[in-house]
Structure 1
Amino acid sequence: MIENKEFHKLPSFLQSLFEDNIELLPSVTELFELELAYLEYNCLPKGDLSDRLAYFKSVNNNFTKHFLMYNTYTKALTKNRSTSTKAYFENGLFSTGYATHGLFPYRGKFHPQLIKALINIIGIKKGELILDPMCGSGTANIESALMGINSYAIDLSPFCQFMTKVKYNSLDINIESLKGLSNRSEQLFNFFSGDDLQKQLQKIKDVEKLKVCELALLAFLDSLGYSKRVVRSSHKQLFVQVLKRYEDTVANFISNNSKYINNIGTVTVLEDATATEIPLENDSIDVDQLIKYDLKISYVLFYRMCSAQLRCAGIILDCASNQVLFPLLLYEFLLMCVCHPSCLALPCRDNAVWLSLLQMVLPSRLAL
């Protein structure tokens, strides 16, 4: 017990949680971030702190690897973007926009920094193997690879499979192959807009050339989505901007972190697998990362909004199909009923919205 007049002698909140030899990243302002920082700090072996920590700037007066890799702001991510998007990436320098995570922003994903902290808390080591059976844009897989951890990625959406593959391959793409990519925007736009694109891509046998081409294709699909939401610019005009952004983002990351990305983990996308049908032996992985989604966004509606990219030139299967949407919608509806029972008493107009969505994706043999 200490007298009130000597309150200044009390240790600070951070000193009570941690030792005096640490400094948190300036972006750690939320309570959940502080709690994750506390957990990862106490779960990791002392010798791994500088190399693995996600929420710390320095330990024992030595900068952490996370700070050294991601403290350089990539201006390309926010060039010609909205004010809200700029703020999102500027404030998320250490949490959301680093490495290739900022390519094709995906609604509903977890912050990569959060995933990194969870991996630290669980105790997954370099060289071990994890599985994400609902990988989305591959956040957990990309973050694992950056930590030297191998992973499998599964998603019903072929578009999500493609995103994960491109983001991973772009981590160690040959910079020489990447140079001048945006200068070929018109040629690439015409190539991606042509017929039988999938067959044309299969003809590219050079691995590095294919990586670059698929990165450009992701930019093409990204700009296609923008063109559906804006009226001031055409798809072709937006593609020029997005392609330049992708080129600069990847080139800057690799050039600034070449000494850190020599031993990244592997990412294997299991294209024909599902979360319930996994072609792996029992006990062959170290962690099965099953993410529990909430109702902050409707993934069904998200797939509908992405339908233009998903059907683009027939290169990617239409993942807005009943196979994807029916289980997703049913899951969302049941989850809402469990978490929010009052939804059953919604006005008829709101129930009609759900019924119309169900009707869109319900198998034809079932009555509604």
Structure 2
Amino acid sequence: MDKKKLKTKGETMIERAENQFWAYDINNINNQKDLVLLDNVQFIYELSLAELELKSFGVEFKVTNGLRKFKILNKSEEIKNLIKKRGSYFKSIDGEFTDYFYIIQKNQTRSVNQYLTHWIYPYKGKFHPQMIRALLNIIGLKQGDIVFEPFSGSGTTALEAQLLGINFYGIDISPLCVIQGRVKTESIFILDKILEIKDKVISKLVPSLFHSEVDYYKLIDKLTDDERVKNFYKLARLLAVSDNSRRKKDFVTSYIKNINLMIASIKDYIEIKERLGLKLGEVKFEVGDSRNVNLPDNSVDGIVTSPPYSIALDYVKNDEHSLKDLGFDVTKMRNDFIGVRGNGKNRVKLYNEDMKKSYSEMYRVLKPNKYAVIVIGNATYQGKEVKTVEFTVDYMESIGFKLVKNINKIIFGLYNVMKKENILIFKKEI
């Protein structure tokens, strides 16, 4: 046997990783005449969302082949194109891959759900991007509509809305979250400027990149006037700060690795946008308070969000290393974050009061007959279950919302403080 033709296990794995379809079965795709689910669809709630998404598209269907395929009963070119361009849980229709299938191949990580720029920064309690894409479709949002998120978090909803051509306005009390969202959605427009100063940043700051005598942020300010570029390099540093704090990784090694990965992900986004001819939605992030939203009455077409699980997960403490690196007083910040203020029973009371204000603001800014989606779960605090779901449903209905759908979403992990979440879909009725 020719030794030159032998491949090591590592070489084989690299080849698989370089093949954009390595994580999915693409055999016999041309012979498929039905609508086929993506291979990673595993849970009942995902099937429920897939069915709701089809109904929102006006599709009549029958589930076949062990719940893995859908037979479309009113098939037309219009319906096929709608599913192909906007669908979330489907791999192919009549032997043609969906846009979403191509999108999720653009992944620089080992996690199926962290494609494009979703992976940037390890934010706890992230949304599942596929679920968000489906929910945007289910509540009927179209290109040019505005979706609002009062707890924008890591920017998942923003990126998925952008991909669908839906305009996004999001606020978060955390400036770290705002930076994340901006970098994930704005960097594709300034890649040339990012690359222009990359070598200068590294040559000027390495090996003294994270030494106390070097003011990293001042150096970045000197190299560019573009706030979007500054945010990119801020987040690249914060990724290294996080890696060092949480995983004890070397600062400089992590910094350079993450910059290269971030740039690769941005290039992926640009490539898939051009390949699929995507018309991106406009995105705007601001530091803001969900209890006092700077928007006119009846001004947004939809809301998709997940309130902070601050009772169970201390977001300030979790990101303390990054917030301090940015120069913020984390002790002072605690007074502004929902669910972090107070102790014992008083903390839950303050959380509920804050959420009432937030929910009332959602009602105020949402247009009549439009939908608000809240993904939330009951949490365990001081050994007792906090009935957050029940509280949310009761209060939302008391201010004029109607609960039209309640989907159980089983989740795993998150510090073992929750066993499941609920996807609550409300309609603002007048």
Provide TM-score, normalisation by structure 1.
0.71
Aligned to 2:414: none
CA–CA separation in structure 1 for the residues paired with 2:181 and 2:270: 18
Q: Is the CA contact (8 Å cut-off) linking 2:209 and 2:252 kept in structure 1?
A: no
In the TM superposition, 1:186-197 aligns within 5 A as 186-188=203-205
**Structure 2 equivalent of residue 343 of structure 1:** 383
Aligned pairs for 1:133-282 (under 5 A) are 133-175=150-192, 177-178=194-195, 181=198, 184-188=201-205, 207=226, 210-231=227-248, 233-260=249-276, 263-271=279-287, 273-282=288-297
Contact 2:171 2:286 (C-alpha < 8 Å) held by counterparts: yes
1:295-327 Cα shifts (integer Å, max 9, x gaps): 8x8331x4213111112152x564872223464
Residue of structure 2 aligned with 1:298, choices 312, 324, 327: 312
Correspondence for 1:33 among 46, 63, 73: 46
Residues 159 and 319, structure 1, Cα contact 8 Å, conserved in 2: no
Q: 2:121 aligns with which of 89, 100, 104?
A: 104
Provide the residue aligned with 2:320 in structure 1. Answer: 307
Q: Is the 8 A contact 2:152 2:305 kept in 1?
A: no
> Does the C-alpha gap of structure 1 residues 42 and 326 become closer, same or farther in structure 2, counting only changes over 3 Å?
closer
Sequence identity of aligned pairs in percent? 26
Q: Which has the higher strand share?
A: 2
**RMSD (Å), alpha carbons:** 3.4
Instruction: Please state whether the residue corresponding to 2:143 is helix, strand or coil.
Output: coil
Contact 1:100–1:249, Cα closer than 8 Å, also in 2:
yes
Higher relative contact order (CA 8 A, sep 6+): 1
Distance 1:305 1:153, change over 3 A: same
1:310–1:320 contact (8 Å) kept in structure 2: no
- CA 1:284 to 1:73, structure 2 compared with 1: closer, same or farther past 3 Å? closer
Contact kept? 1:99, 1:171, Cα under 8 Å: no
Match of 2:336 in 1: 324
1:31: Cα distance to partner?
1.4
Q: Is the 8 A contact 1:28 1:55 kept in 2?
A: yes
Where does structure 1 lack aligned partners over 5 or more consecutive residues?
A: 1-18, 78-85, 346-368
Aligned match of 1:118? 135
Contact in 2 for aligned 1:298/1:332 (Cα 8 Å): no
What stretches of structure 2 of length at least 5 have no aligned partner?
Answer: 1-31, 59-78, 353-377, 386-430
Specify whether residues 31 and 294 from structure 1 end up closer, same or farther in structure 2 by C-alpha distance, changes over 3 A only.
farther
Q: Which of 97, 112, 121 pairs up with 1:63?
A: 97
Q: Which residue number corresponds to residue 54 of structure 1?
A: 88
Shift of 1:183: 8.2
Contact 2:107/2:116 (<8 A) preserved: no
Specify whether residues 34 and 218 from structure 1 end up closer, same or farther in structure 2 by C-alpha distance, changes over 3 A only. Answer: same
State the alpha-carbon separation in 2 of the partners of residues 196 and 310 from structure 1: 16
Counterparts of 1:320 and 1:110, CA distance in 2: 27
- Structure 1 residues 251 and 183: alpha-carbon distance in aligned structure 2, compared to 1, 3 A threshold: farther
Find the aligned partners of 1:243 and 1:140 in 2 and give their Cα distance. 23
Q: Which has the higher helix share?
A: 1
What number of residue pairs does the alignment pair up?
302
TM-score by length of 2: 0.61
Q: Any idea what the Cα deviations from partners look like across 1:99-154, whole Å, max 9, x if unmatched?
A: 21011131101111100001111010010001100010111111111111111111
Name the amino acid aligned to 1:227: N
- Name the aligned partner's letter for residue 102 of structure 1: W
